[in-house]
Amino acid sequence: MESGTTIRNGSVEGFRDLSSSVLGYGIHFTSTRARVDHVTVFNNGYGIYVDNGDLVVTDSTVSGCEDNGIYSAGGMLTVSNSNISGSPGGYGGITVGGFGLVTGNMIAGNAIGITVLYGSTGATVTNNAILGNGIGIISHNTTGIGSNTFAGVGSNWVGAPAISMKNNVCGGTVC
């Protein structure tokens, strides 16, 4: 990432309004290159939202968001070594609208663990623990997934065929 906005070593809490249809954003980027590193984002309407820019989220926690944990409407989304949990609405934990790389995360207790939207260019999903979500992954576009652990999930995978689905563990057995 060459330039842009970086948010590091902090926390963002409480940007939501349950009394109206307006959901607050914990962090909202518009058409930029952005990085969120070692940040805790919790108890918001949306945790982290980017309109059409590139976003890198590393070593962060996004939890208790009413609608979506991390939502990328377009651009390149990279989420690594993070904990994404407790987003019961919308598309749930992580939503990919452009292209996504989702690796090394704990994704738990969301309506949907990962959503790859129509119109996206796909995603690569590797080495994640995808636990206790209503649905593990919904993909409307090309997605390669491998070496993930699925457990306590309503459905592991829904949607377009995966490019590769190797070395995943589903409920204690290889899937």
Rounded to an integer, the average pLDDT of 127-135 is 95
Q: Rounded CA gap, 123 and 114, in Å?
A: 10
Give the per-residue pLDDT at 1: 43
What digits encode the pLDDT tens for the residues 15-54? 766 666 667 899 999 878 999 999 999 998 899 999 989 9
94 phi, psi to nearest 5 deg: -125, 130
What digits encode the pLDDT tens for the residues 48-100? 999 989 999 999 999 999 889 999 999 999 999 999 999 988 888 999 999 99
Q: Rounded CA gap, 42 and 27, in Å?
A: 10
In the DSSP assignment, the letter for residue 161 is P
Joined tokens for residue 47 = 């945790």
- Is residue 114 scored above 90 in pLDDT? yes
Residue type, 2: E
Q: Is the dihedral of CA 22, 42, 86, 119 positive or negative?
A: positive
Are 29 and 56 in contact by the 8 Å Cβ rule? The answer is no
Give the per-residue pLDDT at 138: 92
pLDDT top residue among 164 and 97: 97
Are 70 and 89 in contact by the 8 Å Cβ rule? The answer is no
27 phi, psi to nearest 5 deg: -135, 130
